[in-house]
Amino acid sequence: MIFSGGSLVHILDLLGYLILFPLIAAIFLLFERRDSSRSLIVQLSAVAIGIVSLLLLVLGYNRDTLLYAVGSEQVGQVMFFIELLMVAFILYLAVKHRKTLAAVLVLLQAGLLVWFETSLSHGLHVANNLFVDQFSIIMALIIGIIGTLICVYAVGYMETYHTRHPEVRDRRNIFFAILFLFLAAMFGLVFSNNLLWVFFFWEITTLCSFLLIGYSETEEATNNSFLALVMNLLGGLAFLAALIWLVLSDPSGRLLDLNYLLTTGKALALVPAVLICFAGITKAALMPFSSWLVGAMVAPTPVSALLHSSTMVKAGVYIIVKFAPVLSGTTEGLMIALVGGMTFALASFMAISQNNAKKVLAYSTIANLGLIVACAGVGTYNLMWVAILLIIFHAIAKSLLFLCVGTVENRIGSRNIEDMGGLIVRMPRIAIMMFIGMAGMFLAPFGMVISKWAAIEAFIQAPFGLIFIAILAFGGSATVFFWSKWMGKIISVMREQEVLEDTVKKEKWVVLWILTGLVVVVCLIFPVISWVLIEPFVLNIYGQTAGLAQANLTIMIMMLCLLMIMPLSMLFYRKGPHVPATPYMGGRPMDGNMHFAGSLGNSREVVLSNYYLEKMFGEERLFMIGTSMCWGLLLIAGIMLVGVML
């Protein structure tokens, strides 16, 4: 154990601050009903949380894993008490909305909790409840910067949302309180070393997402929120089962120490690892459970952005990546990796057939989480490196895209991609941001392609890697298809359109520009991030680490610079001689509004629609295939696990 003596600020204080400060902000927001002061609280807290997470980076990046003995029996008691309150609350809502399955699951969980607390928890002692290492710092930065940016954006968004949806009850004080509670829970999750604490924060994120998805209180929203709840409760049960298994194997509770557990080797850690990874799969919305994340689209857009980029699903992959060393080389790990791989390929295919912008983003998220889990499940050192890289790049680009789509939706009143034609004329700045965000998702030399490339190079050295390379090759090309056709829609130039983006608020612009800048800057400096944070972390666990070849890095950065210089050619072209022309329409008479003279003097509008290839990549068909195959894989993993237990 190493203490961070010598510095002015104790790192432990920062951890406590990051977990508790959002909580305090949440309480303030709960009782604040005025727009102006709410906006002020959110902005100030965002700045404060952001700065502290950066401070944590500065102080903590060059240290080994730091463990802290804080908290006591009482804290555990309080947590248990809060968990029971949560159970009661969910039970009340489940009965109110007549959701039997949710009620049964929550009762089951309550029973297990009470049994655990009364007959197993005596004498449990975990020496260190909190910890911080480089991976936690990365997660903290994602939560502390991207998460809070989304909160700042949400202030303006929710104002517009309520004017556009007068039928929805204005409960913004609760909404923002939950957002900050969510952040607090996420900080708690990534800093907890005691698995009981992890579980506690885990359940809070489940509850928060449940409440946020159901915010609009429509029937669809309520149903989808319960869908999310049921699936996550299932995962919660698996998590609880892992805890019980750990305590039964060692009544002293030593195994509940996360960082200790990871070092005990496969014999002890495999069973809880697989159970917790199952919980992670439900939370990360991989294939059999992907429907909850797609259903979560009914929520206001900042919620989707938060769930997809910095919280919730990232909690799921965080815990799976954490357990990657235990999974590596085991058949169970391979099964989990295959679930991830199948999810990646099929979700990418399904995204082709969607014209709802948020659904495309949802499937893309599911696909990328699948890829992260595939990396973690195989679990070699270079794949761990790739998985963390994917988490970073995905969080930034996806939050940007969600917020852009939210802004567009509020202006054009639709989230259908087909309605986004000519966005480059109507909302030029937003369109360029979306363009950069999408480039970040699938074009070289941006983040996700760097990661996919590293993944191919890593899988080729891993056992059974060829399966994953095939999955990556086919799924990756599907990614190219659905992003490019969306990009094409945005940039197709239609004439005589009015500019719509002047009404976008200043703070929203600030958030969007910061995120756009992050997409590019993180791409440029990712070698530094890798060198400072990811490589030491991987080195610490595996004793060796990965990275891209120096020559390739140079070329990538040169390509990125070239890509940034190329648009400057527009300046030249705007000045230079050119002859305006009309698009080719087979010679039909046209007006500037893209109307052409049809037969018998009718005037018709040119309407161009993208390909969705429904028959080949239809959602229902692929979902059936994916769900059954992934259930099958999980079942195999489960059976093998029972074998191990016995």
Binding site for other proteins (CB under 8 A): 421-422, 424-425, 443-445, 449, 453, 456-457, 460, 463, 466, 469-470, 472-474, 476-478, 480-481, 484-485, 487-489, 491-495, 549, 551-552, 555-556, 559, 562, 566-567, 569-570, 573-590, 594, 597, 606, 608, 610-611, 616
Measured distance CA(536)–CA(8) in Å, rounded: 24
Residue number with CB closer to other proteins (62 or 582): 582
In the complex, the smallest distance separating the C-beta of residue 608 from other proteins, rounded to whole angstroms, is: 5
In the complex, the smallest distance separating the C-beta of residue 419 from other proteins, rounded to whole angstroms, is: 15
Measured distance CA(401)–CA(440) in Å, rounded: 10
Residue number with CB closer to other proteins (251 or 488): 488
Three-state DSSP class for residue 462: coil
Instruction: Please spell the DSSP secondary structure of 119-157, one letter per residue.
Output: II-TT---S-SEEE-HHHHHHHHIIIIIIHHHHHHHHHH
Other Cβ atoms less than 10 A from the Cβ of 116: the count is 17
In the complex, the smallest distance separating the C-beta of residue 367 from other proteins, rounded to whole angstroms, is: 14
| Measured CA distances, 13 to 130, 136, 183 (Å) | 11, 15, 17
Measured distance CA(615)–CA(638) in Å, rounded: 34
Residue number with CB closer to other proteins (449 or 534): 449
- Residue 148: both structure tokens together: 């809070």
Measured distance CA(73)–CA(62) in Å, rounded: 32
In the complex, the smallest distance separating the C-beta of residue 493 from other proteins, rounded to whole angstroms, is: 4
Measured distance CA(311)–CA(317) in Å, rounded: 10
Residue number with CB closer to other proteins (247 or 424): 424
In the complex, the smallest distance separating the C-beta of residue 618 from other proteins, rounded to whole angstroms, is: 14
Residue number with CB closer to other proteins (470 or 528): 470
Measured distance CA(534)–CA(134) in Å, rounded: 7
Residue number with CB closer to other proteins (2 or 549): 549
Cα 576 to chain center, whole Å?
45
Other Cβ atoms less than 10 A from the Cβ of 265: the count is 11
Among 580, 611, 399, smallest CA distance to 488 is for 611
Other Cβ atoms less than 10 A from the Cβ of 11: the count is 20
In the complex, the smallest distance separating the C-beta of residue 473 from other proteins, rounded to whole angstroms, is: 4
In the complex, the smallest distance separating the C-beta of residue 270 from other proteins, rounded to whole angstroms, is: 24
Residue number with CB closer to other proteins (190 or 448): 448
In the complex, the smallest distance separating the C-beta of residue 239 from other proteins, rounded to whole angstroms, is: 35
Measured over the CA atoms of residue 625, residue 628, residue 631 and residue 632, the dihedral's sign is: negative
131 forms bridges with which residues in the sheet?
67
Residue number with CB closer to other proteins (370 or 406): 370
Peptide bond into 445 cis (omega under 30): yes
Measured over the CA atoms of residue 341, residue 189, residue 391 and residue 530, the dihedral's sign is: negative
In the complex, the smallest distance separating the C-beta of residue 346 from other proteins, rounded to whole angstroms, is: 14
Contact 161, 300 (CB under 8 A): yes
Measured distance CA(269)–CA(261) in Å, rounded: 6
The burial class, CB within 10 Å (0-12 / 13-18 / 19+), for 638 is middle
Measured distance CA(10)–CA(3) in Å, rounded: 9
In the complex, the smallest distance separating the C-beta of residue 426 from other proteins, rounded to whole angstroms, is: 11
In the complex, the smallest distance separating the C-beta of residue 477 from other proteins, rounded to whole angstroms, is: 4
In the complex, the smallest distance separating the C-beta of residue 308 from other proteins, rounded to whole angstroms, is: 24
Q: Which amino acid is at 483?
A: W
In the complex, the smallest distance separating the C-beta of residue 501 from other proteins, rounded to whole angstroms, is: 16
Contact 132, 191 (CB under 8 A): yes
Measured distance CA(458)–CA(546) in Å, rounded: 9
Residue number with CB closer to other proteins (342 or 449): 449
Contact 261, 323 (CB under 8 A): no
Residue number with CB closer to other proteins (146 or 478): 478
Residue number with CB closer to other proteins (244 or 444): 444
Residue number with CB closer to other proteins (413 or 463): 463
Residue number with CB closer to other proteins (111 or 428): 428
Cα 488 to chain center, whole Å?
25
In the complex, the smallest distance separating the C-beta of residue 467 from other proteins, rounded to whole angstroms, is: 9
HSE (side-chain half, CA atoms, 13 Å) at 496: 5
Contact 329, 181 (CB under 8 A): no
Residue number with CB closer to other proteins (70 or 562): 562
In the complex, the smallest distance separating the C-beta of residue 606 from other proteins, rounded to whole angstroms, is: 7
Other Cβ atoms less than 10 A from the Cβ of 43: the count is 16
Residue number with CB closer to other proteins (453 or 542): 453
Three-state DSSP class for residue 175: helix
In the complex, the smallest distance separating the C-beta of residue 479 from other proteins, rounded to whole angstroms, is: 9
Three-state DSSP class for residue 590: strand
Residue number with CB closer to other proteins (581 or 642): 581
- Residue 60: both structure tokens together: 């903590």
- Residue 381: both structure tokens together: 């050192």
